[in-house]
Chain A
Amino acid sequence: MGQAAATSVGLGMPNMPVALIPGHPGSQSLQELRANVRNVTAAHVIENLLQQPTEHQLEPEPSARDIVFRGTFEEVNAHFYEREWSDGLPIVPPTLEKIEEFLKFTDRAPEESLGILLPENRAATIRAVAANGVMAGCRPEYMPILVALIEAMADPTYGVEHSGNTPGSDTLIVLNGPIIKDLKFNYTQGVLREGFIANTSVGRFWRLALRNMAGFLPHKNDKATFGNTFRVVLAENEDALAKIGWPPNSVDMGFSAGDNTVTISRMTGGGVMPSVTGSTPEQMLPYLADGVAKQTGWEMVFTVGGLSFGTLRPVLVLSPILAETIARAGWSKRDVKRYLYEHARTPAWRVEAFTEKWLDFRIGSLERQVNLGRLPKAFHESNDPNRLVPIVLDPEDFVVLVSGDPLRTNAYAFAQNGYLGFPVAKRIRLPKGWAQRVDRPGR
C-alpha cells in the first residue's frame, strides 16, 4: 500500500484509490485468498469505482538554487536525514559554492535536464547531479562520470523505474577508459571493496541519486525485501586486457577501445569462485562455468519467457592472471562466452520448477516454448528432465570483465536482473582542458 501511495504521487495522481488484499497472496491457500478477496477486497473495489476520490494538492517544492537550510555540519546532516535526503552516513553539505566546483567539470548548463526519472517523474538536472555528487563525497573532477551515470539511469532501456523491486537488486557500475587512471580508480586488488575514494564515492552517489533524483525511498518506493549496500565502481584492468588482446567492456558495449564509458546493469547477487586451478582453459573453465550457472536460479525467468525472452546478462569477472592464462592458449573473449553458453547450463526440470511451481512465472514448459518458436532448440533437445539447458539465448549475452587482484586465480560471477536493469553504457564526455585539470599519471 505504501508503494502504491508513493508511486501515485509521481504519476500525478496522489488520490488514486487502492484496494487491499490482506496479507500476501503468495503465502495464502486458494481458499484463504478467495475469502480475503470476497470479504475485504471486493468492497474496496466497488467503493473505488463508485466513489469520487477527493482532490489532492501537491506540496510546493524548493527551486533549484533556493537555500533550504542553514546550520552547522551536524545540523545539516540531521536536517537531510530527517527529510530522507541522506542515506544515513554523513553527507557533505551541498552548498552553492561546492556545487559550483563540480559544475566547472562539465560543459553542460546547470539547469539542463538529462531526462525524466521515474518513479517521481523528476527532471535529472546537471545541478542535482552535482548536489548529490557533493553529498556522496565525490571530488569535483568526478562530475563527467556522474553525468554519464545519470544519462544511463534516464535511458528507458535500463528501466530505472524497477529499481525498487522486491528482490532488492543493486547496480553494478563498470568503468572503462583512460579516466580510470586519470582519477585514480582502483582496478586491481579489492576492486569491489570500499577504501578508494573514486570507486567508493561514485558508488555511493548512484544510490543517493536513486533516492533524491529518482525518488526511491525504503518503506515507500524502494520495496527491497532485504536489499544490500551500494556497490563500489568496478573499473576494468585495461592494461591486462591490452596485454592479452581482449577488447574492454566498452568495446563490447559498442564503443571504441580507449573511450571513457560507464556501463550500468542491475545484479541480483553474486559469488566468488576462489582458487581456480589449471594451466589451460579446458582445466579452468569447467569450474568457472559451474560458478556462473549456479548464480543464476530464478533469474531464468528473464531468459525463457517467464518475464521476458533473452534479457538476462550474467557477468563473469576474471582476475587478470586467469584471463591471461586463458588467452595464452589462443582463446578470445568470444571463445570464453561460447564455452559458457555450452557449459554454464542448468537442468531443465529446475527451470520449469522456477517457472511453474516455485514462482508464478508460468511458461507451460520449455518444450512448449520451443515448439512455439520462442526458444531455440537447445532448450528442448530431449524429454529428459535432467538434460542441461543454456541460461541465456546467445553466447554474446554473457558479459566477461577483467579486474581484481592481478595475481589471484579467483573469479566472480554476478546474477543479473534481466530487463529490470538491462545493461546500458554511456560515453563520458570530458570538459575542455581535461588533461591539464587532472593529475594524469606520466604527465
Chain B
Amino acid sequence: MVKKSNGDGLYEVIWPRGERKQALRPLAKRLDTLEGKTVAQLWDYLFAGDEVFATLEETLRAQYPGIKFVSWREFGSTHAVNEKELLASLPQRFKELGVDAAISSMAC
C-alpha cells in the first residue's frame, strides 16, 4: 500500500509529466498577396495529395494568375524513412528556390 503523504489519510501527488522543452515559436509573417509569390508544396505521399495539390494549384491560379508553385516532386515524401533529414534540409532548400510560403499536406 502506498504510504500517505501525511497522517490524515490523504495523498499529496505530483505531476506525472516531463518539462516542456519546446518554447513558443513565432509563425512566419503572412503574405500580403499571393500574386507573384512562390509557394512550396510538401506532401507525405498519402491520401491523394497529388490530386489535392493539382486542384489547389488550379483554384489558386484562377484567383492569383501570377502565383508560382514548387511541386512536391521537388522535395520527395515528408513521411519516409529519411523524413528527419528532409525536414532539416527545408530552410536551405526554400532559400535556394525562392520560396515565400509553404503548404504541407496531407494529415489525417
A residues in contact (CB < 8 Å) with B: 3-4, 10-16, 18-19, 21, 24-26, 30, 33-34, 37-38, 41-42, 45-46, 49-53, 55-58, 61-62, 64-73, 76, 79-80, 85, 92-99, 113, 116-117, 120-125, 127-128, 131-132, 134-135, 156, 166, 208, 212-213, 223, 307-309, 311, 360-362, 419
Q: What B residues does A67 contact at CB under 8 A? A: 5, 12-14
Q: How far is the CA of A306 from the CA of B52 in the complex (A)?
A: 20
- A360 adjacent to B46 (CB under 8 Å): yes
B residues in contact (CB < 8 Å) with A: 2-5, 9-27, 29-34, 39, 45-49, 51-52, 55-56, 58-60, 63, 79-81, 84, 101, 103, 106-108
- A131 adjacent to B14 (CB under 8 Å): yes
A38-B55 CB under 8 A given contacts A56-B24, A135-B16: yes
- B51 adjacent to A30 (CB under 8 Å): yes
Q: How far is the CA of A93 from the CA of B12 in the complex (A)?
A: 8
- B29 adjacent to A52 (CB under 8 Å): yes
- A46 adjacent to B63 (CB under 8 Å): yes
The interface centre, meaning the residue of B20, B39, B46, B56 with most chain A CB atoms within 10 A of its CB, is: B20
Q: How far is the CA of A426 from the CA of B22 in the complex (A)?
A: 26
- A41 adjacent to B17 (CB under 8 Å): no
- B2 adjacent to A58 (CB under 8 Å): no
> B2's contact among A34, A55, A92, by CB below 8 Å, is which?
A92
22 residue pairs of the A-B complex, CB under 8 angstroms, read A11-B22, A25-B52, A30-B48, A45-B103, A46-B34, A50-B34, A61-B15, A64-B19, A67-B12, A67-B14, A70-B10, A80-B13, A85-B17, A93-B2, A96-B12, A97-B3, A120-B20, A123-B21, A128-B16, A131-B16, A132-B16, A134-B2
Q: What A residues does B5 contact at CB under 8 A? A: 67, 70, 95-97
With contacts A3-B107, A85-B16 known, what are 5 further pairs, Cβ within 8 A?
A: A4-B107, A25-B48, A52-B29, A94-B13, A96-B14
Q: How far is the CA of A120 from the CA of B59 in the complex (A)?
A: 35
Q: How far is the CA of A120 from the CA of B81 in the complex (A)?
A: 21
Q: What A residues does B79 contact at CB under 8 A? A: 307
> A37's contact among B33, B55, B108, by CB below 8 Å, is which?
B55
Closest chain A residue to B54 by CB distance? A34
Q: How far is the CA of A98 from the CA of B10 in the complex (A)?
A: 14
CB distance from A158 to the nearest CB of B (A): 13
Q: What B residues does A13 contact at CB under 8 A? A: 24-25, 27
- B106 adjacent to A117 (CB under 8 Å): no
A11-B21 CB under 8 A given contacts A37-B56, A92-B2, A95-B4: no
- A95 adjacent to B24 (CB under 8 Å): no
CB distance from A186 to the nearest CB of B (A): 24
> B12's contact among A11, A70, A223, A309, by CB below 8 Å, is which?
A70
- B23 adjacent to A33 (CB under 8 Å): no
A-B contact count (CB 8 A): 197
Q: What B residues does A71 contact at CB under 8 A? A: 10-11
Closest chain A residue to B9 by CB distance? A72
Q: What A residues does B39 contact at CB under 8 A? A: 49
Q: How far is the CA of A13 from the CA of B58 in the complex (A)?
A: 29
Q: How far is the CA of A55 from the CA of B46 in the complex (A)?
A: 31
- B60 adjacent to A12 (CB under 8 Å): no
CB distance from B31 to the nearest CB of A (A): 6
Q: Which 9 A-B pairs have the closest CB atoms?
A: A121-B22, A122-B18, A93-B11, A308-B81, A12-B25, A42-B59, A37-B55, A62-B15, A12-B22
- A21 adjacent to B60 (CB under 8 Å): no
Q: What A residues does B26 contact at CB under 8 A? A: 55
- B48 adjacent to A69 (CB under 8 Å): no
Q: How far is the CA of A97 from the CA of B2 in the complex (A)?
A: 9
- B21 adjacent to A33 (CB under 8 Å): no
- A308 adjacent to B80 (CB under 8 Å): yes
Q: What A residues does B31 contact at CB under 8 A? A: 49-50
- B14 adjacent to A61 (CB under 8 Å): no
Q: What B residues does A4 contact at CB under 8 A? A: 107
Q: What A residues does B10 contact at CB under 8 A? A: 70-72
Closest chain B residue to A96 by CB distance? B14
Q: What A residues does B63 contact at CB under 8 A? A: 46
A64-B14 CB under 8 A given contacts A24-B47, A56-B24, A122-B21: yes
CB distance from B79 to the nearest CB of A (A): 7
A66-B19 CB under 8 A given contacts A16-B27, A50-B32, A360-B46: no
> B20's contact among A15, A33, A61, A64, by CB below 8 Å, is which?
A61
CB distance from A39 to the nearest CB of B (A): 9
Q: How far is the CA of A21 from the CA of B55 in the complex (A)?
A: 12
CB distance from A51 to the nearest CB of B (A): 6
A42-B60 CB under 8 A given contacts A65-B14, A135-B16: yes
Q: How far is the CA of A16 from the CA of B29 in the complex (A)?
A: 12
Closest chain A residue to B55 by CB distance? A37
Q: What B residues does A11 contact at CB under 8 A? A: 22, 25
